[in-house]
Amino acid sequence: MADTATATAKRTVKFIIKRQEKPDAAPYTEEFEIPYRPNMNVISALMEIQRNPVKADGAKTTPVVWESNCLEEVCGACSMVINGKPRQACSALIDKLEQPVRVEPMSTFPVVRDLVINRERMFNALKKVKAWIPIDGTYDLGPGPRMAETKRQWAYELSKCMTCGVCLEACPNVNDRSSFIGPAPISQVRLFNAHPTGEMNAHERLEALMEGEDGIEGCGNSQNCVRSCPKGIPLTTSIAAINRDTTKHMFKRWLSF
């Protein structure tokens, strides 16, 4: 037991972190080597570097900046690219990662500093498709309509989206040369259109996805999104369903002329 404890105490974890001082600054990498502890995740490793910001060569540096909140894969704040894969840093266990652990900010979004990114693109997309239920709360409307249990079950899976941005990072059609809205907002359209109250504005959401190059036509069906989603949301199923709904809506508009 003593030998095992000694071996663990001497073990270290190597990190290569891509850093950037500010949005318009050039990126650079720094290497760190920190003591290993059982059950470490990437967030706890970053906290160790924050407490003692010394590089692997012994030179002092500034603490690495990142975002986190819930630490249980619910808030989506700690999204970053770890060993080439976009994911949540709180659920990335050191014991399951190849070393050195390479950590970078997600490239789909502008970098604010180090691993902190600007998610405005994603939130603007949610506003564009009106991803909410428009209910006037100024007076009591009474109980709302009930959702069928079969519909509620699959809609619940869509509601797990935590706007982490991982699916947008994994999608090859979401980049600085494309305005494609991305898989997460499309899936949210399906969620809110399925709601008994939200379906009253379903046509507005569908039309938002039919306008311009940033709509559903931008999907290349790579299916990277569904493979990378940390919550296992059936994003490609949602995209197929909304593609069908927008086609029906388009024909209805033609027939109404």
Residue in 64, 99, 72 with CA at minimum distance from that of residue 88: 72
Q: Mind listing the pLDDT tens digit for each residue in 172-189?
A: 999 888 889 999 999 999
Co-location of 156 and 63 in the same domain: no
Domain end call among 62, 83, 117: 117
- The range of the structural domain enclosing residue 242 comes to 120-256
Answer yes or no: do 40 and 142 share one domain.
Answer: no
**Whose CA is closest to 91, among 228, 234, 237?**
228
Question: Could you say which of 84, 117, 150 is where a domain stops?
Answer: 117
Same domain, 125 and 235: yes
Q: Do 163 and 234 share a domain, yes or no?
A: yes
Looking at the structure, do residues 131 and 243 belong to the same domain, yes or no? yes
Contacts for 145-151: CB closer than 8 Å, 24+ residues apart: 145/196, 145/197, 146/196, 147/194, 147/195, 147/196, 151/194
**Structural domain tally of the chain?**
2
pLDDT top residue among 197 and 96: 96
For the cut 90, the answer to whether the pLDDT of residue 236 exceeds it is: yes
* 180 and 231 share one domain: yes
My answer on whether 21 and 108 are in the same domain is yes
User: For residue range 64-122, what is the model confidence (pLDDT) as tens digits?
Assistant: 999 999 999 999 999 999 999 999 999 999 999 999 999 999 999 999 999 999 999 99
Note whether 248 and 132 are same-domain residues: yes
* pLDDT confidence band for 133 (50 / 70 / 90): confident
